[in-house]
Amino acid sequence: MAILHPSKPSEPSDAGVPQGAPPAPADPTPVDASPSGPPAAAAPALRFAPVPARMEPPEGPTVSFDPDRIARLLEEESHRLDESTPGSAATFARAKRTLAGGVPSSYQARKPWPIYLTRGDGQYVWDVDGRRYLDVHNAFGSMVQGHAHPLITEAVSRRMALGTHFAAPTEDAIVVAEELERRFGLPQWRFLNSGSEATMDAIRLARAITGRDTVLKIFGSYHGHHDYVMVSIGLSEEHMGDREDYPSVAYGAGIPPSVTAMTVAVPFNDGDALERRIVRLEAEGRAPACLIMEAALMNCGVILPEPGYLDRVREITRRHGIVWIVDEVKTGLTIAPGGACEYFAIQPDLICLAKALGGGLPSAAIGATHEMMEPVLTGRVCMVGTYNGNPLVMAAARANLLEVMTPAAYDHLEHINRRLLDETQGVIDAYRIAAYPVGIRSKGVVAFSDSKLVDYETFKRAQDEQLMALAWLWNMNRGIFATPGREEEWTLSIRMTDDDVDHYVSVFAELIDALTR
């Protein structure tokens, strides 16, 4: 579960903000979420000494949460949020008449209504009721730059006056490709419009190169909403089956069984299981074209690769002639200048970028070796799209890469995330709860588990949906806009401050205190 609890200071500090990022606005001040208005006197913030994050569950006995207490708090917090968001309720009543479900995407839906936003600035967003939140959702990890960054805004505005779309290349696309080559070490690039498009085209490219059809993916991982990869996601524990032979199950209706059967899932962090599955597929005449995976799982909170695992994956895929696609839609540009490839020192055949690339505009990219991109250059594979390389997107990406996501920005993210990890660890140790923080650079999560989460199976076994729902409501009612669900991690932005960390940790401590009274 992703629970981040950043700050709600009356006058946000600019300490530690990277050069070039203007101070966050102090007004309007946050609106208290209580239906009866602000309390007469604020309770003192709970403070605990930071402890270096171990990224491992605690040893020895731990304190358990009372399910009845969770249920009671859940009811109270749900009522509190509903009472304080009448504007969202009214907006939903209007929206659902013409906008399916009242939202543009099913992942934005929520009962009884979504929280509708009006604007964002820096690390903050505002809803239609005028409530200000510290944003650690950051558009499912897209807005590591913070909202309305002035350098990106200026670049897009300048480009707007010159024309918004041509379906023809511009110089900015060349500059962005050159910078991505420098960061990721792959020489050839193509641009697309979403992570789903990037993973879809990468798989098609791998099939053309190998002449094979079977796709390998990690069990439980998400790689977009096209048919190739909407397989073996979100399964409950009783439907998982044998980890040596996971079932290929479509994620929703409308996907032909013949397509679903061509995608085979394997467990994360298990090189031996990967190779055994490949050997069996080869014996069946179904040798895989590719393995698509995240280097660190980012849709199960955050699950890091065990030492040596990624090197083993590279060796196995290369030996079996399988194209290794690393999905950097979430990790690309957010955990290092060169994403997971740089952070973990890996060299895949293809990588997929999206989310953070465009600084808030819809963007994606595929990076490849010369050999991998050869079918595109010869015309054997069609990689096309009217809006690929859109001038506005390329202008935003250029400013983002060259002026915003600088070495100082990554240093700042490291500082903020390290504080969050260490200080939530301090709270966990003080209360002796079965939980641990884990994260890298702008990404992190507090995993509520008494055993280490190493793959989707261990993640699902530890999942407490009631607790996850409570944590989200607790955050929202205290000025923190977090991503719903245990499946998501927090994403920090470069605009976050040390004051934000103080608030985050204090809200986390208040939640744990309420659960353990």
- Same domain? 179 vs 324: yes
pLDDT at 487: 63
Total domains, the chain? 2
pLDDT at 44: 60
pLDDT at 32: 42
Question: Quick one: which of 364, 361, 369 has its CA closest to 196?
Answer: 364
Q: Yes or no: say if 289 and 215 are a contact pair by the CB < 8 Å rule.
A: yes
11 assigned to some structural domain: no
Residue type at 426 in one-letter notation: G
- Same domain? 370 vs 426: no
169 assigned to some structural domain: yes
- CATH no. for residue 212? 3.40.640.10
Contacts of range 465-470, beta carbons closer than 8 Å, 24 or more positions apart: 466/67, 466/70, 466/71, 466/74, 467/1, 467/65, 467/70, 468/1, 469/74, 470/70, 470/73, 470/74, 470/77, 470/511
Q: At which of 404, 438, 464 does a domain end?
A: 404
- Same domain? 206 vs 76: no
13 assigned to some structural domain: no
pLDDT at 150: 98
pLDDT tens per residue, range 177-236: 999 999 999 999 999 999 999 999 999 999 999 999 999 999 999 999 999 999 998 887
pLDDT at 205: 98
pLDDT at 486: 55
Rounded to 10 deg, the angle between the 67-83 and 465-476 helix axes is 40
Minimum mean pLDDT range among 120-124, 230-234, 291-295: 230-234
Mean pLDDT calculated for residue range 483-507: 89
In the predicted structure, residue 410 carries a pLDDT above the cut 80: yes
Confidence of residue 277 (pLDDT cuts 50, 70, 90): very high
- 């085979």: which residue's tokens? 264
DSSP string, 57-95: PPPS--BPPPHHHHHHHHHHHHHHHHHT-HHHHHHHHHH
54 assigned to some structural domain: no
Q: Yes or no: say if 397 and 15 are a contact pair by the CB < 8 Å rule.
A: no
Q: At which of 358, 388, 404 does a domain end?
A: 404
- Same domain? 167 vs 213: yes
- Same domain? 493 vs 350: no
32 assigned to some structural domain: no
123 assigned to some structural domain: yes
pLDDT at 43: 54
Token pair belonging to 63 = 């304190």
- Same domain? 392 vs 246: yes
43 assigned to some structural domain: no
pLDDT at 8: 27
- Same domain? 336 vs 198: yes
Q: At which of 356, 379, 404 does a domain end?
A: 404
Q: Which helix (H) or strand (E) holds 177?
A: helix 171-184
pLDDT tens per residue, range 138-176: 999 999 999 999 999 999 999 999 999 999 999 999 999
Mean pLDDT calculated for residue range 476-488: 84
Minimum mean pLDDT range among 23-37, 92-106, 418-432: 23-37
Confidence of residue 489 (pLDDT cuts 50, 70, 90): confident
Return the higher-pLDDT residue of 13 and 227.
227
Question: Quick one: which of 36, 35, 129 has its CA closest to 87?
Answer: 129
- Same domain? 452 vs 395: no
- CATH no. for residue 497? 3.90.1150.10
Residues of the chain with pLDDT > 70, as a percent, come to 91
pLDDT at 266: 97
Mean pLDDT score of the chain, rounded to an integer?
Answer: 91
What domain range includes position 371? Answer: 151-404
Mean pLDDT calculated for residue range 320-346: 98
pLDDT at 279: 98
pLDDT at 50: 93
Q: Yes or no: say if 215 and 259 are a contact pair by the CB < 8 Å rule.
A: no
36 assigned to some structural domain: no
Mean pLDDT calculated for residue range 399-412: 98
- Same domain? 88 vs 185: no
Confidence of residue 129 (pLDDT cuts 50, 70, 90): very high
- Same domain? 297 vs 432: no
The three-state secondary structure class of 99 is coil
- Same domain? 168 vs 313: yes
pLDDT at 484: 73
Work out whether the CA dihedral 388, 342, 231, 461 comes out positive or negative: negative
Q: Yes or no: say if 112 and 468 are a contact pair by the CB < 8 Å rule.
A: no
| Active site residues per annotation | 222, 327, 355
- Same domain? 352 vs 439: no
pLDDT at 27: 36
